[in-house]
Chains A and B, each alone.
Chain A
Amino acid sequence: MMWRLGLALLLFALPVRAADEPVPDEKEEPKVEAPPPAGAESNKDVAIKEEEIEDEEAGKIEDVKEKSIYGPIQQRLFDQVHELELGWAYLPLDPYVKGYGVQLAYTYHFNHRLAWEMFRIGWSYNVDTKLKDKLITQASNVSPDEFPAVLFWGNSDLVLKLLYGKQTFLNRTVIHFEIFAVGGVSLVFRNPYNIFDMDFQNPRLEIGLNAGFGFRIWFNPTWSVRMDLRDTVILFCFNRADFPIKNSALLGLTLALGF
């Protein structure tokens, strides 16, 4: 029944459609052309646009000089050229004192992989351990002058940015991060007393090598937070001309401003 109704409607519609079209010249043979499929023009446009987008993406991919075996690697969302840091430092390895400090650093980023931490300067407020207290109070021949501890430090390091990635937090928020390694030279000023004591009778100005690694999480393109773990091996003392070969580790938590 339905197909009959459909056929009747089709027959009814044909004359209407013919009436809508312009009347062809009687001498000319009416041209019979297959009607183009609906939306063919728009599909073509879409295809062209897609090709254009692909070309643009290909251009972007070429910007990433190294090609991956996994195909195109997504461009880094967060990157920086200049970086300024301010934060805390903890120096835990000295058996006689624990250092709690602040540090300031500036880093110039050459590219995605390499940066130069031009300077990292810091000051530490040293708190005596129980061992030092016991030694001073219980042993008569022990003087507080005999425990030089890191008071100031200055580093200049190369930064190798090994890994950049993103992780989803509870499948809801994307967090971008970076893992890097550092290595360079250190200048260390060690003194048995804190800066507030204003006693610089037995200072030591020393040079050493430092290496470590760190982790950065971005909040936005401007701000990120860094965690650093590095170790300095003190090699030579300038003002005493000796080779102390001391180890000083530093745990850092800093807020970084990138621009």
Chain B
Amino acid sequence: MRRSRRRLMLIVPILCGCLWAVGSLPARAAEAEGEVMDYGKVYAIQYRAYRMNHEFSVGMTFLPMDAFYKFFAGTFHYVLHFDDLWAWENHFSFAKYLDVDTGLTKELNNRWHVSPTDTPKIDYVLDTNLMLKPLYGKMVLFDRWVIYSESYFLLGLGAIHVTSAFFPTVDVGAGIRVFLSDTLSLRFEVRDYVYLEEKGVENALSLGVVFCYNGFAEDRKVVPEEEVESTAREVKP
């Protein structure tokens, strides 16, 4: 019975994929007839308005996945941006004393007179990450304000301190950076830490907001407009 349910869970995505493939056929046909596809034009990529150099940042994250505690953490980052695509991040997250009891322990005790003994708490996390920034662009807020943004992905290694011991951790993440000025920006990100504990493999998901200062921003000035034309290239939308 369980196997058939698992099969069902596998079949559903495959069916969705087929549906997508079939559904995209009319759009392609319309493109051939020249009816719909205005997006098939050649675009020139605008030069980046903002570029990062030495990034110093502080932030706040929320770890919502633990059943017994919801953790808040203060975070500190230093990111060295090698170029527009690659960067190296060092990150420290401090969650000790910032946990909120969900009330589950009390509920277990009140309803069934059960007292859980093993409810580990995350104290802090120290990790180093490779940051890949393949996406840069701009967006418009309410058709009125233009906001420059950058999306990035993280992959790193580190150590997580849970209750009384360190455990090795691997983390992956993704986020979006919103530029406020040449030197200030905001990052909204999600990370997942997978760590090997005594009981087995655990994971901790964190949602964060980070306030960033771009140090020595003037060293990575934006290329003047004459060079913009020379660096523009034809791309597909």
Residues of A within 8 A of B (CB): 64, 66-70, 73, 77-78, 86-88, 92-93, 95, 100, 102, 112-113, 125, 129, 131, 135, 139, 141-142, 146, 162-175, 177, 179, 196, 219-223, 249, 255, 257
Whether A170 lies near B134 (C-beta < 8 A) is: yes
Whether A173 lies near B24 (C-beta < 8 A) is: no
Question: Which single member of A67, A92, A139, A168 contacts B65 (CB below 8 Å)?
Answer: A92
Whether B236 lies near A173 (C-beta < 8 A) is: yes
Say yes or no: is B165 at the interface (Cβ < 8 Å to chain A): no
Q: Nearest Cβ distance between residue B149 and chain A, in whole angstroms? A: 7
Say yes or no: is B204 at the interface (Cβ < 8 Å to chain A): no
Residues of A within 8 A of B139 (CB): 163-166, 177, 179
Whether B135 lies near A162 (C-beta < 8 A) is: no
Which one of B13, B233, B237 has the greatest number of beta carbons of chain A within 10 Å?
B237
Residues of B within 8 A of A175 (CB): 135, 137
Whether A172 lies near B235 (C-beta < 8 A) is: yes
> B1-57: which have CB < 8 Å to A?
1, 5, 9, 12-13, 16, 19-20, 23-24, 26-27, 36-39, 43, 45
Say yes or no: is B138 at the interface (Cβ < 8 Å to chain A): yes
Say yes or no: is B151 at the interface (Cβ < 8 Å to chain A): yes
Q: Nearest Cβ distance between residue B20 and chain A, in whole angstroms? A: 6
Residues of B within 8 A of A (CB): 1, 5, 9, 12-13, 16, 19-20, 23-24, 26-27, 36-39, 43, 45, 64-65, 67-68, 85, 102, 104, 108, 111-114, 116, 134-147, 149-151, 233, 235-237
List, sorted by A's number, 18 A–B pairs whose CB atoms are closer than 8 Å.
Answer: A68-B145, A78-B39, A95-B68, A95-B102, A102-B12, A131-B67, A142-B114, A162-B142, A163-B139, A165-B137, A167-B151, A168-B45, A168-B136, A168-B137, A174-B137, A221-B27, A255-B19, A257-B23
A51 to B81, CA, bound (A): 45
Whether A125 lies near B23 (C-beta < 8 A) is: no
Residues of A within 8 A of B237 (CB): 77, 173-174
Of chain B, the residue at the smallest CB distance from A167 is B137
Whether A68 lies near B135 (C-beta < 8 A) is: no
Of chain B, the residue at the smallest CB distance from A166 is B137
Knowing A64-B143, A113-B143, A174-B237 are in contact, say whether A220-B137 is a contact too (CB < 8 A): no
6 nearest A-B pairs in the assembled complex, by CB-CB distance: A165-B139, A167-B137, A95-B67, A167-B135, A163-B139, A222-B27
Q: Nearest Cβ distance between residue A54 and chain B, in whole angstroms? A: 19
Whether A222 lies near B24 (C-beta < 8 A) is: yes
Knowing A113-B142, A167-B137, A179-B139 are in contact, say whether A129-B24 is a contact too (CB < 8 A): no
Whether B146 lies near A221 (C-beta < 8 A) is: no
Whether A165 lies near B45 (C-beta < 8 A) is: no
A25 to B26, CA, bound (A): 71
